């Protein structure tokens, strides 16, 4: 073993870089530190409209990574608000600025529920990695604290729906890659839905984001996050849950979750538990 000669530690913002210089050897650069959120944070998810300079008095905002500029992220940070970068990872959207960079071989069938959106063949990670990596780079460059990766549960669809076969192993490989790549950029990363994958992902992902888990009865599947003092940011929608039912859900929740009621288009409107 070669003897270490010098150690230089550089502290920049929330990033700590450790440079270890060995005799005749190259410097080793440690991975950047990322945010470790704790359970119970108050939050807002707002994708259809940008926040104003008078945001809600919450601890976390979840915003569209493409449509939110760095100045907005900086404004929220100046107010002590953490930010999640919503970024679609598992499907192709025709309106995104990078839509033309996706190879046709990786684009599958249309998703009937969402016009202009198609499934991605996530098995083709070799061709998708540069595109999705650039999306994560954008989140980091704008100053977001974390990424909210959408549609990381498409493997549950049939071959006829997707246009290709996906297995649980394919999905886990893809999801773990997202987690590794987010952390490598100093971003925390969330598990978006996919409750059946929680046992394999909860140890390395930093939080969870759920949709309709109360309406569909699977919130308990995310208990590993709450037990580890990691947030479960839970969204229920008004087309599935009236406000009076939501109030009852707040009172009877069996585990600590950060629960909000939203319109399906995720505009500014929000009701939260007391």
DSSP letters, 64-104, are ETTTS-HHHHHHHHHTT-EEEEEEE-SEEETTSTTGGGS-G
| pLDDT tens-digit map of 148-206 | 999 999 999 999 999 999 999 999 999 999 999 999 999 999 999 999 999 999 999 99
Can you read off the two tokens belonging to residue 179?
Answer: 């987690």
Asked if residue 86 and residue 26 are part of one domain, the reply reads: no
In the prediction, which pLDDT does 255 show? Answer: 84
| Length, in residues, of the chain | 274
Asked if residue 116 and residue 3 are part of one domain, the reply reads: no
- At residue 16's C-alpha, the angle toward residues 11 and 17, to 5°, is 100
Residue 88: closest CA among 111, 70, 105: 111
Asked if residue 238 and residue 110 are part of one domain, the reply reads: yes
User: Using CA atoms, how far apart are residues 80 and 74, in angstroms rounded to an integer?
Assistant: 10
Q: How many domains does one find in the chain?
A: 2
* 220: number of Cβ within 10 Å: 12
In the prediction, which pLDDT does 29 show? Answer: 59
Asked if residue 243 and residue 227 are part of one domain, the reply reads: yes
User: Using CA atoms, how far apart are residues 73 and 83, in angstroms rounded to an integer?
Assistant: 7
Asked if residue 267 and residue 201 are part of one domain, the reply reads: yes
In the prediction, which pLDDT does 274 show? Answer: 85
DSSP state of 245: H
User: Using CA atoms, how far apart are residues 17 and 19, in angstroms rounded to an integer?
Assistant: 6
In the prediction, which pLDDT does 16 show? Answer: 39
User: Using CA atoms, how far apart are residues 204 and 188, in angstroms rounded to an integer?
Assistant: 10
| SS3 of residue 53 by DSSP | coil
Can you read off the two tokens belonging to residue 25?
Answer: 């050897």
Asked if residue 180 and residue 108 are part of one domain, the reply reads: yes
User: Using CA atoms, how far apart are residues 8 and 47, in angstroms rounded to an integer?
Assistant: 42
CATH number reported for the structural domain that contains residue 165 in this entry? 3.20.20.70
Asked if residue 188 and residue 104 are part of one domain, the reply reads: yes
- Name the stretches of the chain with pLDDT < 70: 1-30
Asked if residue 93 and residue 13 are part of one domain, the reply reads: no
Is residue 260 a contact partner of residue 44, using CB atoms and an 8 Å limit?
yes
For residue 4, the enclosing domain spans 1-30
Is residue 154 a contact partner of residue 117, using CB atoms and an 8 Å limit?
no
Asked if residue 45 and residue 26 are part of one domain, the reply reads: no
User: Could you identify the residue written with the tokens 């960079």?
Assistant: 101
């Amino acid at each position: 073993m070669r003897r270490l000669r010098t150690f230089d530690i550089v502290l920049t913002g929330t990033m700590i870089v450790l440079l270890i210089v060995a005799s005749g050897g190259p410097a080793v650069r440690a991975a950047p530190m990322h945010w470790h959120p704790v359970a119970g944070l108050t939050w807002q998810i707002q994708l259809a409209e940008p926040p104003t300079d008078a945001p809600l008095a919450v601890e976390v905002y979840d915003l569209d990574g493409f449509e939110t500029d760095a100045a907005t992220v900086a404004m929220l940070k100046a107010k002590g608000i953490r930010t999640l970068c919503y970024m679609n990872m598992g499907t192709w959207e025709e309106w995104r600025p990078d839509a033309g960079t996706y190879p046709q071989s990786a684009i599958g069938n249309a998703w009937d529920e969402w016009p202009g959106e198609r499934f991605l063949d996530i098995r083709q990670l070799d061709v998708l990695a540069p595109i999705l990596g650039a999306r994560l780079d954008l989140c980091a460059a704008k100053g977001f604290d974390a990424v909210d990766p959408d549609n990381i549960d498409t493997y549950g669809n049939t071959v006829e729906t997707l246009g290709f076969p996906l297995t649980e192993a394919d999905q886990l490989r893809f999801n773990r890659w997202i987690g590794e790549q987010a952390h490598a950029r100093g971003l925390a990363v969330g598990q978006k839905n996919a409750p059946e994958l929680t046992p394999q992902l909860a140890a390395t992902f930093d939080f969870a984001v759920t949709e309709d888990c109360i309406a569909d009865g699977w919130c308990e599947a995310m208990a590993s996050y709450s037990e580890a003092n990691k947030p479960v940011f839970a969204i229920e929608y008004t087309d599935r849950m009236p406000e009076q039912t939501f109030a009852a859900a707040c009172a009877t929740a069996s585990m600590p979750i950060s629960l909000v009621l939203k319109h399906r288009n995720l505009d500014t409107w929000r009701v939260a538990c007391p």
